[in-house]
Amino acid sequence: MSSRNNIILTGFSGSGKSRVGAEVARVLGWRFIDTDSEIVRRAGKPIAGIFSQDGEAAFRRLEREALAEACSGSERVISAGGGILTGAGNRRLVLESGLVVGLEAAPETIHRRLAAHGAGEGAESRPLLTGPDPLERVRTLKERRQSSYAAVHWTIHTDHLTEAQVAAEVIRAKQLLGARVTGGVFGGGELAAVVTHANGSYPILVGWGLLDSLGDRLRRMGIDGPVYIISDENVFPRYGRQAQRSLQRAEIEAHSFTVPPGESSKSLSMAQAIYSWLASRRAERRSVIAAVGGGVVGDLAGYVAATYLRGMPFIQVPTSMAAMVDASIGGKVAVNLPQAKNLVGAFYQPRLVLADPQTLTSLGRRELAEGWAEAIKHGFIMDAGLVSVFESRAAELMALEPGISTEVIRRSIAIKAGVVSEDERETLGRRILLNYGHTIGHALEASTGYGAYLHGEAVAVGMMGAAELSRLAGLMDAAEVQRQRDVLEMFGLPLKATGVDLEQALAAMSLDKKSSGGSIRWVLLDGIGKAVARSDVPIDRVMEVVRGLVRES
């Protein structure tokens, strides 16, 4: 088992080690080292020059020295040269220095990638691949080295993956194997997931007491401010100020703006007020907006970040359960209109999500339960095993026992992160599955003026409606519907709604963002842990179910 906490990338030339390594280091906030670049720096000449003037033996000596220096520290991402594992001493060194990940690709893929870099660059940096038949040379040399590549801890086949996807797989390998390889020192196990998107990726960190490290984390990611904290009047005195102190300890300039708590702050007029504040502070495009609070603050701050100066970097520091497991992940940012929630918004991804479950200890039981509703939803749509955890550990979760609560939050986050990585803008159909219970839930919120029900409470009622529609469609049986009812009741969540104007609720559903061609795309369950999207649910059946869920007085 290694005493150091590094990631060492190895593989044949053209496997993408340098670019992938740089991206992994950026996401983790670690130092990136390319051993080939270090060799060139030490020798004062290009690799081809070392081979031609000093010979391969001299190159291998410099390679060993560069590798030893790179592996001497911790929290480093190291791109090791294509032939570095052929030496037994080098293999032993990297395997003792952290997680060794091999990037694999077919000879044809490698040849195509090397050719795309241009003959000049290939000849300059890869002298062993020069010759009249480069593809055959790749095949021969790769076959000779394959037994060395087999010594790695984890292998990723990169042929059909983008560099961002490979980077995410490297980090996933660290999540899966890190404790076994490095003795569990990988950031205290805080990395819950990595979201990949069209423009890159970002980490989601989860850990009890993590908020105090915010400033240091941003510094390590290359973020040095200024940071503009947006929070609400209830959250800021306790956690916004704590975040601000952490930033100041890291010598990051920090300013704050607070809004009234509640859904009514998620408005265009409040966004305008924040725009004016940013302008008065002369905020620049390189400045960072930090959302410290629940889902309302995250949506509002994210919308401002997406639109002010045509886009500013922002980070999410969720302090409510619903924000941690749902709203802070995936880049959906928006404000409300009187007609319905989230009608004006954007897909705009954060640079970091940092979730500290200890911040949840100040929540009341109602607020905690409504947050667990989103995590329970994740289990019912994609993870039947997680549903069992909620059934067997409900009391501990409602008491916010640190171990099991942090574990379940991480597991729920990983579900959402995986979905949004596959379907960033809800175009492939998979991301819509996260809206289980939301069509009716959003309608209940809108028809009651966004004040009578907390979001998770409305979603819980909506989940019961969706489960009943699933039963009527022949997808679920009565026992499965009852199982969902029992879990929601364990957490004190409502199963029906009162004080709702039925006509207003139905009108709000017609504005649902998941509508297509006038038909609502319903998210239903084809059994526990398996969600499906359907557009063929008869409107009379919907009205029957909604009437059974709501009472006007």
Q: Which residues are catalytic?
A: 310, 332, 374, 416, 426, 431, 435, 438, 442, 455
Q: How many residues does the chain have?
A: 553
Separation of alpha carbons 162 and 112, rounded Å: 15
DSSP string, 472-521: HTTSS-HHHHHHHHHHHHHTT--SSEES--HHHHHHHHHT-TTEETTEE-
Which residue type does 98 have? G
Nearest CA to 5 among 83, 115, 100?
100
Which residues make beta-bridge pairs with 317? 292
Separation of alpha carbons 430 and 533, rounded Å: 9
Pair 531, 382: CB distance under 8 Å: yes
Furthest CA-CA distance within the chain: 89
First to last CA, the chain: 64
Phi, psi of 98 (to 5 degrees): 150, -160
Provide the token pair at 378.
């994740």
DSSP 240: I
Provide the token pair at 482.
């009852």
Separation of alpha carbons 466 and 471, rounded Å: 9
Separation of alpha carbons 521 and 214, rounded Å: 39
Separation of alpha carbons 410 and 415, rounded Å: 9
